[in-house]
Amino acid sequence: MRILDISMTIHPEMMVYKNRDENRPVFTVTRDHSGGSAYETRVTLNLHTGTHLDAPLHILENGSTIDQMALDRLVTKCRVLDLSHVEDRITEQDLAGQPIEADDFVLLKTRNSQSETFEYDFVYLEESGARYLRDCKVRGVGIDALGIERGQPGHLTHRILMEAGIIILEGLRLAHADAGQYTLIALPLKLKGLEASLVRAVLIHPCLF
């Protein structure tokens, strides 16, 4: 059995969305061995830092929260699709020839995984691609960008997926994940009433389901 870590490492100099300083994690040592018997650190960060899950509340008014997300939907079979050839946006045409089945958790591997710095022209999932995945009745969609869209007006990609109950997983690192089937484990922190959570996402091969 092979376990592949597809999570971003959290640290103050890491890639953050649009390189915004307010999104950078802050590590503050509150106690160390020079003055006591233990070492402790306070971490301040945005919930959309690194590899994270979006709950519907992120976009949908009165949407469900991250603590309400069913864990059996996050320990699941998944399928990595290699879309490294896509230059700008993933459309229905890009997905139509892919081996997607109902209830798949689909992970979109793009050229984004080759960069460790934020690129403003990152590959994202366009609305027609989101509608196609919705109509395929997938369980979830993950992408190797810090956003599944580039802030399109109205957040249509998010809305199409969330309104269909499809989970959104962002900030994956898929450079070393070949196309194919895996088991995905992507469990959020149990944060009450909030719209997102960091996750430690891993792939297990061969698929256990």
- Catalytic residue status for 48: no
CATH superfamily of 2-13+47-205: Putative cyclase (3.50.30.50)
Q: What is the pLDDT of residue 94?
A: 97
Give me 109's structure tokens. 């591997």
Percentage of the chain exceeding pLDDT 70: 100
Catalytic-role residue among 52, 58, 85, 155: 58
Pair of tokens at residue 199: 């996750």
Q: What is the pLDDT of residue 54?
A: 98
Question: For 87-142, what is each residue's pLDDT tens digit?
Answer: 999 999 999 989 999 999 999 999 999 999 999 999 999 999 999 999 999 999 99
Q: Report the alpha-carbon distance of residue 43 to residue 52 in Å, rounded.
A: 16
Q: Give this prediction's pTM.
A: 0.96
Give domain limits for the chain. 2-13+47-205
Tell me, what amino acid is at 134? R
Residues for the chain: how many in total? 209
Q: Write the pLDDT tens digit of every residue in 62-90.
A: 999 999 999 999 999 999 999 999 999 99
Query: Which residues fall within 8 angstroms of residue 84, CB to CB, at 6 or more apart?
Result: 109, 110, 111
Answer whether 48's CB lies under 8 Å from 196's CB. yes
| Side chain identity, residue 103 | D
For residue 9, what are the CA distances in angstroms to 5, 25, 50, 116, 177?
10, 11, 7, 11, 17
